[in-house]
Each structure stands twice: as C-alpha cells, then as structure tokens.
C-alpha cells in the first residue's frame, strides 16, 4: 500500500514536470539560426571587415592595380576617363568589399571623387547598421 502511494505521487510529479516543460517550450519562440558571413568571425557587434581603419599597412588590391596611376592626384583634377576607371571598379565591388577597398585606396594615397566617396561611405554605414541590428537581435537575453 505504501509503495502504491509513492508510485502514484511519482507518476503525478512526472506528468506535472512533462506538462510544465511542454508549456515552457511552447512559449519560447524558436530563434532563427544566426547567419555569419564566411569572412567574419562573428564575435564583434560590428565586423572588423567593415572597419575603415587599417589594421596594417598591407595594401590589398581588388583587381584594380590600374588605379595606382591616380596616386597623389587631387580628385578635382581627374579626367572623365580617370573617374570612369574608379567608377568601374567601385560599381563591380561586392557590398562586403567596399570598406576594404576604401582602406586600400587610402593606403595607396588615391583621392576619391566626392560622389563615389559618399556612395561608398553610405554602403559601409548601412552594412554596419544592419550588422549591429542583427547582432543585437540575436544576443537579446
């Protein structure tokens, strides 16, 4: 008789725990998997790849070696052909490469025309904002 009462209490406890766990799981929304770019470590709120500050003095080329001819020339003195060279490179960049390209241009002492610079900075700012929003959304407690 004593064993039967203990078994009934254990069964009631197990059913109660199972019900509670099921209820908590139903209330907790499943978070979508965090998508981290292949080139980002994912441990920072803003990816270091999107930084405009150069970590090193190493110049990385984006298949744009021909732009070295523009080194030291003020952008106000560029010809239409030179501006076209810059635009061709800029408009073929992947969005995630724009910050790195700007760093490369700075290290190579190439002055960007104002309209290209503004567009590039806008892309970098939007990527940072989007990355920060995603990071905040996925790291809420």
Residues 49 and 115 in one domain: yes
Which of 19-50 are b and which e, b meaning 16 or more Cβ less than 10 Å from the residue's Cβ?
A: eeeeeeeeeeeeeeeeeeeeeeeeeeeebebb
Residue 86's pLDDT is what? 95
Query: What's the domain count of the chain?
Result: 2
Name the residue with higher pLDDT: 34 or 38: 38
Average predicted confidence (pLDDT) for the chain:
80
Residues 114 and 58 in one domain: yes
Name the residue with higher pLDDT: 50 or 5: 5
Give the integer Cα–Cα distance in Å for 79 and 83.
Answer: 6
Q: Which residues form the domain of 8?
A: 1-29
Residues 24 and 56 in one domain: no
Residue 65's pLDDT is what? 94
pLDDT digits (tens, 9 = 90+) for 73-112: 999 999 999 999 999 999 999 988 999 899 999 999 999 9
Residues 128 and 71 in one domain: yes
Residues 98 and 134 in one domain: yes
Residues 66 and 110 in one domain: yes
Residues 91 and 23 in one domain: no
With 70 as the cut, is the pLDDT of residue 46 above it?
Answer: no
Residue 27's pLDDT is what? 65
With 80 as the cut, is the pLDDT of residue 52 above it?
Answer: no
Residues 122 and 70 in one domain: yes
pLDDT digits (tens, 9 = 90+) for 3-23: 878 878 878 887 877 777 777
* Any domain includes 36: no
Residues 69 and 127 in one domain: yes
């Amino acid at each position: 008789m004593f064993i039967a009462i203990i078994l009934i209490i254990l069964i009631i406890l197990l059913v109660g725990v199972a019900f509670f766990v099921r209820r908590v799981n139903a209330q907790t929304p499943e978070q979508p998997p965090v998508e981290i770019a292949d080139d980002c470590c994912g441990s920072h709120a803003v990816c270091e790849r999107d930084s405009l500050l150069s970590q090193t003095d190493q110049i990385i080329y984006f298949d744009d070696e021909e732009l070295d001819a523009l080194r030291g020339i003020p952008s106000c003195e560029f010809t239409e052909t030179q501006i076209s060279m810059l635009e061709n490179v800029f408009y073929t960049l992947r969005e995630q490469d724009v910050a790195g390209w700007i760093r490369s241009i700075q290290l190579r002492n190439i002055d960007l025309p104002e309209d290209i610079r503004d567009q590039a900075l806008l892309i970098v700012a939007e990527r940072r904002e989007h990355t920060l929003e995603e990071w905040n959304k996925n790291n809420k407690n």
